[in-house]
Structure 1
């Protein structure tokens, strides 16, 4: 939402909004895309595309496990015509090694995508190799997240054994990064203390690992963290552990929270709604009013309309929203 508003300000001629839009741009660890790059490409065209290509190229050079797709190229071509993005980057790549490397990785991604099911299935990395990589790593090992999502419950349990005892923070981070997508099949209450760990990354990834369990202890830990103001980890733990009576309690805590970036919290709230949490309009209205993300706000409005609980004031206000998709959605309702 912030990026969308800044884009509109720039298009209206407010140049002081431009550096603020670029300040929002950062790599998203979950998607390997750049946050707010769509808006940068819209307002700055070729300059925005080059900015994205260099940022992603630098990330590729810094981390051998990092990967890229072709979303930024697709977005530019959507605005300026098919093939334009590659043509622009190809001209620059002859003298810019970072962009050349980025284009090579995009080409490799597109080859993998086009091969599809006909390509030979990649042999999974043995769990012993993963354990060794975790124990010897000095920084985050990016590939572990994908490995954990594809590993068997038994393989994940073997990696989970590294959490026992008092491992170093670096080991904790990589183990939890590996397990956060699917978690451990068996609930282990002795590990639940990790959601209260002093290290932010350990606490955050531990919350994601335990978010797969429906358990009263996980629920209690979620509300304990919510009262402490750690809304992102708390709502992760509560995603599958809320009841119809919890909406007010959650909202009261969120309104007291001083969380600067609530996007993770909002995403968790949306998942609660999608999981069928029997709440009225209070939670989706909170998302609509407080989320910094245009797409999350769109999902909230969609939920309100779909469940026929959308207040009239939202329909009237959203008719002038910065998001074209939200404007179209409410226009269809009012038609």
Structure 2
């Protein structure tokens, strides 16, 4: 999955932790000031964080009191737009599949505006698939299995958040496509499937590919004892902070779903080298739960910049 991008604010959680709502406002202003914002409105994750910590009413009052710029207020899109988005998360899409078919046939002819390494024409297919009914997804799956190569990418993207409901043999083949975009979209779709052939694919790709950070998602539902060696290798290969962040998130989800004492080296790598303070906290939590946290790290973490990590250690 596309977990991390050049627009990911690794320090945002720290700023909010250290400076409360003023830290949140600093982050929002920074993202709003980017010449080419990743999204037209602030990611709801930031709102969820401050609401959880300070309460919805306090957040509303702060935004009303501190923000005069109507453009910035519209970018933060709070509270009405955020509440509407949250209420739509579990609703079935009302866009008919016939309309989506039109999007698919026209998608390559639409004007494109690059946003980092993300094609902005594709997310609407993922959003539609996330909200589509099971019946619509079965129809989409039938069409994907017959689709020409030109239209595979939007079809695969529809299954970024949902399980493919039919025989997925073609997806296994596409996951090894010469087109990196198609291969990664197929991996995204296969990540929802628990099956020995998906596990075998993950091992094959991890042993042969340099793009290991995406492949790790296949192990979230398919991890087996011994796979930790390949996970450690995948993390060790990553020097790019965005790719390491993505690999770290996948690794955390793997070991949160599959309890094992063989997680230590991977989790310590995330703690030592990961750029995201939230991921480092999750790594510490897992190490503590398995009684694997080294004393040297416990002593160091007592003074961590993330107060949540300090609290975990004090309770240890």
Equivalent-residue separation in structure 1 for 2:26 and 2:268 (angstroms)? 37
Instruction: Note the alpha carbon deviations across 1:91-124, whole angstroms, 9 max, x for none.
Output: 222xxxx436436x4354156379x69xxx7762
Identify the structure with bigger relative contact order (alpha carbons < 8 Å, sequence gap 6+).
2
Q: Give runs of aligned pairs for residues 1-335 of structure 1, distance below 5 A.
A: 27=7, 36-38=11-13, 48-55=27-34, 69=44, 71=46, 75=50, 83-89=61-67, 91-93=68-70, 98-99=71-72, 101-102=74-75, 105-110=77-82, 112=84, 124-137=94-107, 138=110, 140-160=121-141, 161-162=143-144, 164-168=146-150, 171-227=151-207, 228-257=209-238, 260=241, 261-280=243-262, 281-333=264-316
Summarize the Cα distance change of 1:158–1:54 in structure 2 as closer, same or farther, 3 Å threshold.
Answer: farther
Give the secondary structure class of the aligned counterpart of 2:78: helix
For the Cα contact (< 8 Å) 2:235–2:248, is it kept in 1? no
Deviation at 1:285, TM superposition (A): 2.2
Paired with 2:265 and 2:165, the residues of 1 have a C-alpha distance of 33
Conserved? CA contact 2:281–2:308, under 8 Å: yes
SS in structure 1 of the partner of residue 284 of structure 2: helix
1:195·1:207 contact (CA, 8 Å) conserved in 2?
yes
Residue 152 to residue 302, structure 1, CA distance change in 2 (3 Å): same
**Runs of 4+ with >6 A deviation:** 40-44
Separation in 2 of the partners of 1:284 and 1:73?
A: 26
Counterpart Cα distance in 1 of 2:92 and 2:280: 38
Match of 2:114 in 1: none
Q: Is the 8 A contact 1:232 1:262 kept in 2?
A: yes
Which whole-Å CA distance do the structure 2 matches of 1:224 and 1:146 have between them? Answer: 30
Could you give the per-residue CA deviations for residues 124-163 of structure 1, whole angstroms, max 9, x where no partner exists? 2222222222222235243332332232333223223235
How many residues are treated as equivalent by the alignment? 288
Please, what is the CA RMSD of the aligned residues?
3.6
Alpha-carbon distance between aligned partners in 2 of 1:196 and 1:157, rounded to the nearest angstrom: 24
Unaligned regions of 5+ residues in structure 1, if any? 1-23, 29-33
**Distance across 1 between alignment mates of 2:26 and 2:234:** 42
Cα offset, 1:316, TM superposition: 1.1
1:4 corresponds to: none
Quick one: distance in 2 between partners of 1:40 and 1:301?
20
Q: Give the TM-score, by structure 2 length.
A: 0.74
- How far apart, CA to CA, are the structure 2 residues paired with 1:236 and 1:162? 22
Q: Shift in Å at residue 297 of structure 1?
A: 1.1
* Contact 1:38-1:75 within 8 A present in 2 as well: no
Q: CA deviation at 1:308?
A: 1.9
TM-score of the aligned structures, taking structure 1 as reference length: 0.71
